Structure 1
Amino acid sequence: MGIEKENYGVTKEGKQVTKYTLTNGQGASVSFLDYGAVIQSIIVPDKDGKLEDVVLGYDTLSGYESNVPSFGSPVGRCANRISNACFVLNGKEYPLDNNDATNCLHGGFLRYNYLMYDAECAISQDDASVSFSRVSPDGEQGFPGNLTLTITYTWNDANELMIEYNAVSDADTILNITNHSYFNIGCGGQAAGDVLGAQVQIASAKYTPINEKRLPTGEICDVAGTAMDFREFHDIGSRIGEDDANAQTVSGYDHNYILPGNPGEICYAAAVRDPESRRIVEVFTDMPGVQLYTAKELVEQGGKGGITYGNFGGLCFETQQYPNGINEPKFPSPILKAGETFESTTVFRFGIY
C-alpha cells in the first residue's frame, strides 16, 4: 500500500489544498481532497483488467468549489430533507436554510464539502487510510452544538473503501451524515454515459414514499409489485415509467429504502453491476436506510476530461438515517445527545462478477 500527497491548488480564500491518493497492491486507487473531504476518484479494473475512474467529479479545484451536485461529498450536518426548513429540539425551534422547495436539503447552502479539513494519514501492509477532521461550530447551518467530526477513509488490497464516521457534540443536536458519490461503473467509467442499463439490487422490502417535493410522507410501504422493488437485480431503467406503491409514476429514483439489519450491525445493503464492464459495487452499512438516487435531472458541465454529465449520468447509494426523521415521530430519531459519540461505518466493495 502507498499514499501519495500532491498540491491540488489554492482556494478562493487562499487555503492550500492537498490531494491524497491511496494505491493498493493491484494498482487500484482512491483519491481524496482535504477541501471538503471529498472522494475525488476511485480507479478500479473492469473484466479485462482495465483501470478506470468510476466516480463523477472534476479535474480542478474550481470544480469542487462550485460542485452543485455534491460529487464525492460527505453530507451533513443533516443529510437529505428537513420539512419546512426547521425543527424543534428541547422545546426550541431552529430555522434552517430553505434551499429545496420548502425544505432544507443536505444542510443548506453552506455544505460540508465547501469547508477545509485537517488530515492525518496511516498505512499498514494491507491497507491505508486518511482521516479528515473539523469542528462544526454551534450555529453553523443553523444547527445547535459544537460538533467534532472525523471521517476516515480506508482503502485495502481487496478493493474495499471503508468510510467511518465519528462525531460528538457538546449540546443536543441532530446528525445524519452520508456520502454523496455518484457511481458509473460502465465501460469508460465516469465517462460511460447514462446508468439506465446498470443493474441494481437493494436488500429491502420497504421504503418511505415521497410527495411532490421529494419529502417523505411519513408512511412506510412495501416494494412488492411496484417499480420500487429491487430485491432482485434488474436494470435501473426497466421500471421507470411504472407506478410505485401509491400509484405514482416513477420518473427516476430518489427514495429511501429501509434496511433490515440490527442497530450497529454492518450488513449488505445494495449493489450495482454493469453487464458490459462486469464491474460490481457492493454496499455494506450499519445505517437504517439507504437512498437510491439516479440523478434524473443531472446536467453538469466541466466534469473530468471536460465532459458534460447528463441525465442519469451516475447513481448514489446514500447510507443514512430516514429523511426528515426529526419531524416524523414514526421514524428513527436522528438526535445526538450532548457528550454521546456517534459512530457509523459504510463499506463500498469493488469487484468483478
Structure 2
Amino acid sequence: MTSRRCPGATSLTVTEDRFGVLEDERTGERQAVRRFALDSGRGLSFQVVTLGAAVTALSLPDRRGAVEDIVLGFDSLQDYVEHSALSLSGVMGRVSGRVGGASFRLGENIHFVTENDGHHHRDGGVAAFHKALWEAKMLEDGVLLSHVSWDGAGGFPGAVLAEVSYRLPRDSVLPELWVDMTAVATAPTPLDMSLAMPFNLAGHDAGEPALKDHLLTLDADQYLATTRDFIPTGQLWYVGGTCLDFRKPVWLGLAMERPPIGGLEHTFCLTPMPPQERPRFVARLEHPMSGRAVEVRSDHCAARVYSFWDLSPPWVMDQAAGTGDDVGRTEPAPEGHFYKENRASADELFPDYVDLYAGPEEEEEGAGDAAEAGEQPECLEEGERPPTQKSDVSCHVSATTLPGLAGKGGSSYYKNGAIMITPQGYPNAVNKIPLNLAKKILEDMDFQFIKLFFIV
C-alpha cells in the first residue's frame, strides 16, 4: 500500500493498494486491479478501481457528522466480475443504454453489435468499458484513467481512446466530485459514455424504505415513449399531469409506486440549454432526514432514471452479460488489424492526439421535433398494484421470499433500493438520427462532462 499527498494540494490525500487480480482463462495473463482512495479532507471521500473505472465507495457525512457510504457496491473483485451486468458505478460505453436490434447503419454499412439484452445491445455488451481494465495515473487533484477499445470491439467500428478523470477541486465552496469524460476515435463510431452510480443518500444498505424518503427534481418536461423492451418508439410524451413530472421536488415513495412496471426506468428529455450554460443542471436528489444531497450537471441531452425495480436473483444470474467470462479479457484484434490487443499504445493509435482536456468547440444539440403523440400510458392510482406480466414475473415476487443481492459489508440489496441518474444521449439514437446529422454528431461527440455536487 502506498499513501501520498497530491502535489499542490493542502488537504487532499490519496492511498493506492491492490483490489485483486484478474486472470484471463484463455491466455493465463494476470493483471492487478488497482484501487485509489481519495480523501478531500473536507468530508468527501471515495474509492475508484481500474476495473471499469468504477467508483466502489463514496462517503459523505450527514448534518450531524455521521459518515455513510452512499453508493451500492461489492467488497471483492470477484463480486464485481460475477455481477458485471449491473454496471455498478462503472463507466458505460461505448454506448450507454440500448441499441435496438443490436445493429445500426453507418454510411453504406450495417454494423452488428453483440446482443446482451434479449435481441438488443445494452451498455457496451461484451466489450463494455465497465468490464475493461483501465490504466491509471495521478493528477494534482485526482486520478486519470484511460482505456483503448480496438477497432471492431463488440462490433463497433474504429478504435477509441477513452479517458475519465475523477477530481476533487480544492477551490470549491462545497464538497464536490468532478467526473470528466473524453473519447476520440480513429473512425466515425457511436460514442455515448456515462457513469452508472447507484445512490441511496441514507446509506448504501438503507434499502427501499429510506429511498422512498428522497426527493427528486429533474429538469425535463418530456420523456421517451418505449416498447416493452425499452426501445424508444420515436414519440416524446409530456410529463405534465403524470407521475413522471419531477420539475418540482417529488417524493420517490410516491413516484416509484405509480409507473406500471413497479419502479422507475425512464429516459427523460432535458430542457434545451444554450452552449454557454453547459454543463447544465440535470437533477437534484435530496434526503432531508440526513441533510445529504447530490446535484448532477452534464452536457448530455437526456437522463436515464432507474430505481433497480427489476433487481432479483433470477435477473442478476440469467443475464448473459453477467457471467463474468468476458471481464478483463485481452481480446485479439480482427485479422489483419494494425495492433493486437485492446491495451495497445495510445500513441500508436492516436499519433496526432495532444490534449484530451482541450475538447472540441461546443455545438448545441437539439432534441428535434416531437413525434406525433400516441396513446400515453397512464400511471397507476395510489395503492393500485402493477399488473403481472409474463416477462416480469420474478420482479413482482415479494422480497421476503428471495435472498437479496449480497453487497458491501454483509448487506443485502433489493429492488428499488437505490436510484441511478445517468446523463446520456438518447437510447438507440444511432438508428433514429438522419444519416447526414448522425455522421456529424458521431465524429464530434468526443467530449462529455459530468459534475456531481455533494452538499451536506
TM-score scaled by length of structure 1: 0.91
Residue 283 of structure 1 is matched in structure 2 by: 296
Q: C-alpha offsets along residues 139-191 of structure 1, whole Å, 9 cap, x if unaligned?
A: 101100010111111123532111111111111101111011100101xx101
Contact preservation (8 Å) 1:75, 1:113 = yes
Structure 1 residue 263 displacement after superposition: 4.4
* 1:6 equivalent in alignment to 2:17: yes
Residue 195 of structure 2 is matched in structure 1 by: 179
The 1:85/1:263 distance shift into structure 2, 3 A limit, reads farther
The 1:325/1:148 distance shift into structure 2, 3 A limit, reads same
* 1:112 equivalent in alignment to 2:129: yes
Q: Which has the higher contact order (CA 8 A, sep 6+)?
A: 2
Q: 405, 428, 431: which is aligned to 1:301? A: 405
* 1:49 equivalent in alignment to 2:76: no
Higher helix share: 2
The 1:222/1:199 distance shift into structure 2, 3 A limit, reads same
Contact preservation (8 Å) 2:127, 2:154 = yes
Q: 108, 125, 132: which is aligned to 1:91? A: 108
Residue 394 of structure 2 is matched in structure 1 by: none
The 1:285/1:80 distance shift into structure 2, 3 A limit, reads same
Q: 200, 205, 213: which is aligned to 1:191? A: 205
Contact preservation (8 Å) 2:188, 2:439 = no
Structure 1 residue 215 displacement after superposition: 1.3
Count of residues in Structure 1 that have an aligned counterpart in Structure 2: 340
Find the aligned partners of 2:96 and 2:227 in 1 and give their Cα distance. 18
Q: 269, 274, 277: which is aligned to 1:262? A: 274
SS at match of 2:235: coil
SS at match of 2:139: strand
Structure 1 gaps of 5+ residues are 244-248
The 1:337/1:254 distance shift into structure 2, 3 A limit, reads closer
Higher strand share: 1
Structure 1 residue 277 displacement after superposition: 1.2
Structure 1 residue 66 displacement after superposition: 2.1
Structure 1 residue 37 displacement after superposition: 0.7
SS at match of 1:220: strand
Find the aligned partners of 2:212 and 2:47 in 1 and give their Cα distance. 26
Residue 292 of structure 1 is matched in structure 2 by: 305
**Quick check: 293-302 or 312-321, which moved more?**
293-302
Residue 339 of structure 2 is matched in structure 1 by: none
Q: 58, 65, 72: which is aligned to 2:89? A: 72
SS at match of 1:173: coil
Residue 17 of structure 1 is matched in structure 2 by: 33
Find the aligned partners of 1:214 and 1:335 in 2 and give their Cα distance. 26
Residue 426 of structure 2 is matched in structure 1 by: 322
Give the ranges of 4+ consecutive aligned residues of structure 1 lying more than 4 Å apart after TM superposition: 330-338
Find the aligned partners of 1:241 and 1:37 in 2 and give their Cα distance. 33
Contact preservation (8 Å) 1:166, 1:341 = no
Structure 1 residue 253 displacement after superposition: 1.3
Find the aligned partners of 2:145 and 2:256 in 1 and give their Cα distance. 38
Structure 1 residue 136 displacement after superposition: 0.3
Find the aligned partners of 1:118 and 1:242 in 2 and give their Cα distance. 43
Quote the RMSD (CA, aligned, Å).
Answer: 1.9
Find the aligned partners of 2:122 and 2:426 in 1 and give their Cα distance. 13
Structure 1 residue 241 displacement after superposition: 4.6
Report the structure number with the largest CA radius of gyration.
2
Q: 121, 144, 150: which is aligned to 2:163? A: 150
Q: C-alpha offsets along residues 312-336 of structure 1, whole Å, 9 cap, x if unaligned?
A: 1111011111111011137984865
The residue type paired with residue 268 of structure 2 is Y
Residue 246 of structure 1 is matched in structure 2 by: none
TM-score scaled by length of structure 2: 0.71
The residue type paired with residue 259 of structure 1 is L
Residue 129 of structure 1 is matched in structure 2 by: 142
The residue type paired with residue 110 of structure 1 is A
Structure 1 residue 219 displacement after superposition: 0.8
The 1:239/1:43 distance shift into structure 2, 3 A limit, reads closer
Contact preservation (8 Å) 2:261, 2:309 = no
Residue 351 of structure 1 is matched in structure 2 by: 455
Pairing 1:26-41 to 2, within 5 Å after superposition: 26-41=42-57
Structure 1 residue 102 displacement after superposition: 2.2
